[in-house]
Structure 1
């Protein structure tokens, strides 16, 4: 068994965990982070990419609203390469209660969130696909961002300051000696080797799995895993987010994302942390509610559905439904809370507030370690690279048209080049097509990997020369991740695309059947009428 010693062990490679590693490393603390898969493989990448301004929460959850606006502004400063700085429209549609609007305006004022009422005509001139029957409209600071690029940028910064980030290292249990947590026992998922990491302090940032990690030493963390379903449509029908002006509810916001349109999310589907199956009833909810904002969008081709599991911290909160649970976060010091020194847990929160969450738990950790250096993550701009161009509409196309040739294209939908793949391997140690999806958006466009997955796998094989069986397995995993969500929305023209993808992979490449429905999933055609 291999042993690693460090000052702080961070468990979880999502936004918060990587943010904690960066924060502590910048203070001079020795940090090791472990993640059971690739970075951002959990909830941090299973959302619509909205960077909330807090307008959504001003009445029901004012603390979360203030946190969101503060961090919205911070992200614009420190990660401009990951944020589309265009603002959003908040609209009142005929189904919404006009009496909500003055309360909402006052809530935004109290939270310090700047909004501006604009004419309905201005919205319809700039976004003609929006429901022409909207009654009132506002401009808000809500916007969209790229979660993978943001997490990679945080990881790159953490490494620059000396942090070690070990992906594909699964935590099997925390290690306890004389009543104190002193590390964790892990397994290297690539080699199968047992690894024990010993640390003066362990920070549990495992998100929806945080309760499971804490339970290995007999601790209880009151989390409620709540699953939401989202949809991707094949056309970018709007150029900025459009949100409804009403109390938070299912699928009341639509977001442009690169070349596609995203809608969601639903809420209230209580599940196990690893359950990312797609509830067909929730798909129908998203379609119905999206239609109210963008009439006709439900008839557009649906690329896929996917789900994300929120780690809602319930604490002592009473609630009738999951939307009443705060979207703020909590830092648990298990020494004072449970008499178990050596372990801190960070739970709850949102992707937008990851940096603030990391700062708070890092402050507590620094105090326990006797480190006096303050947090600087809100001041120092995150590193960038050429791959960040994909977030800006038209930027990748301009590059292809001016400096690349068509035979250099790996992903035609998202305009990812051979040079992008080579850069991912060289600078980010990309090993699989799924890594390229996360880093360069390979397979994220309208064919959903049908014509680029095997190109990416072949190019990776040429560059890395792994065992051919590993290449085939990685390609199958890529297809399964891309296409299990497609089955939940499949009908019409998309069924033809799925059939084409199936023929390419099973007949031409002779791979076993790629698409396997997850438990409890069914396609729209299988659904009882």
Structure 2
């Protein structure tokens, strides 16, 4: 192994997105030497190509109240740490009820119980803010503090925090494989053949690091007693020019959501399709048609033939707890210790944010898991960088 990076205490993190960078900062704050490797440049991964919905937790409150609370806390931390990542001229998000028979009280009671602020929004005021919306499928409207954000700006902010903390960032460095001694991971090998020793390796690249998971066939992966990793595909479309500057979502029906980004609007729905590990993120004609039809119901003036500039599919991995039934509905932050796999693989963790919004929660959860596992005699970190003044 390369001598200048040999240390029995080093933690290697694979994946330079929001999750990997925030985890790296917290571990360095605790006194651990950390090297983070990103296959391309910082911010070039999936976290810069997602929809950019900064959740308040309102979307999840009826099904998982603790998740909703964590989202709201993470939202506040993101705003404090990196206000520049928020799209300008936004004052919350419109939560639309399209069916007069929907149990609206269930939603409002859940928001109140989760501590998420909300207010009812006059429908005519909404339509003045978003004239492209059709009036007929809108029954009631509520304003919640969700927002649209630029993941690339947040990633750059987190990268600066990581560098300032002392994280070694290696970009354009693809990890080719894990290095083993018996059942223990002892480091990684890069595409150039360099070997980096590690006391612990953390896989933080979601689908980008799935090839490093223990198990070669994909079927034996994730067979722990608590979690199963599920590959989920969803579809998005971008419309230009921007439909309106107001983020909105429909909380019943098919869950249409709209996130504005500068000159374009990104639209999606609440349909997550379970796919196998080998599935590529190609567009499904039937799924895109369903999305088109749903969008047309609420935005009939949008010409999908001439205004849609891009339709794409994205695949993410959710670590589902045994108590969860439907993939995509309650995406919890999860840290998997592969020592609990069968067979066990020591010194290897995989982390899953659930949603990008939850990055501060995942960073803290991972830090606690690492310190409990390694039991180092290091300083316990006080406030994370995102609780301090913005850089």
* Smaller-chain TM-score bracket: 0.7 to 0.9
1:38-437 alignment, distance < 5 Å: 38-84=41-87, 86-93=91-98, 96-133=99-136, 134-187=138-191, 193-215=192-214, 220-221=221-222, 222-246=228-252, 249=254, 252-265=256-269, 266-272=271-277, 275-299=280-304, 300-317=306-323, 319=325, 321-324=326-329, 326-335=330-339, 339-367=344-372, 368=374, 369-374=376-381, 375-383=383-391
The whole-number CA distance in structure 1 between the counterparts of 2:38 and 2:241 is 34
5+ residue gaps, structure 2? 223-227
How many residues of Structure 1 are paired with residues of Structure 2 in the alignment?
372
Q: Is the 8 A contact 1:101 1:245 kept in 2?
A: no
Deviations 1:273-330 (A, max 9, x none): 67121112222222211223322224451111122212111242463x5345x31121
Distance 2:340 2:294 in 1: 45
Q: Secondary structure at the match of 1:194?
A: coil
- Contact residue 331 and residue 345 of structure 1 kept, 8 A: yes
CA contact (8 A) 2:353 2:359 kept: no
- C-alpha contact 2:94 2:247 (8 A) present in aligned 1: yes
Residue of structure 2 in register with 1:488 after alignment: none
3-state DSSP of counterpart to 1:169: coil
Q: Give the CA deviation at 1:211.
A: 4.3
By how many angstroms is 1:21 displaced?
1.3
- Cα offset, 1:217, TM superposition: 9.2
With a CA cutoff of 8 Å and minimum separation of 6, indicate the structure with the bigger relative contact order: 2
Deviation at 1:209, TM superposition (A): 4.3
Secondary structure of 1:56's match?
Answer: coil
TM-score w.r.t. structure 1 length?
0.66
Counterpart-to-counterpart distance in 1, 2:47 and 2:39: 14
Q: Answer yes or no: is the 8 Å Cα contact 2:339–2:347 preserved in 1.
A: yes
Cα offsets for 1:118-177 (capped at 9, x unmatched): 211221222222222222111111101001111111112111222122222222221122
Native 8 Å contact 2:102 2:252 kept in 1: no
The answer to whether the Cα contact below 8 Å between 1:157 and 1:382 also exists between their aligned partners in 2 is: no
Q: Which moved more, 1:150-159 or 1:364-373?
A: 364-373
Flag the structure with higher helix content.
Answer: 1
What is the rounded CA distance, in whole Å, between the counterparts of 2:42 and 2:312 in structure 1?
18
Larger radius of gyration: 1
Aligned counterparts of 1:5 and 1:290: Cα–Cα separation in 2: 54
Q: CA deviation at 1:79?
A: 0.8
The answer to whether the Cα contact below 8 Å between 1:228 and 1:269 also exists between their aligned partners in 2 is no
Instruction: State the alpha-carbon separation in 2 of the partners of residues 43 and 302 from structure 1.
Output: 21
When the two chains are superposed, the root-mean-square deviation of aligned CA atoms in Å is 2.4
Distance 1:382 1:5 in 2: 34
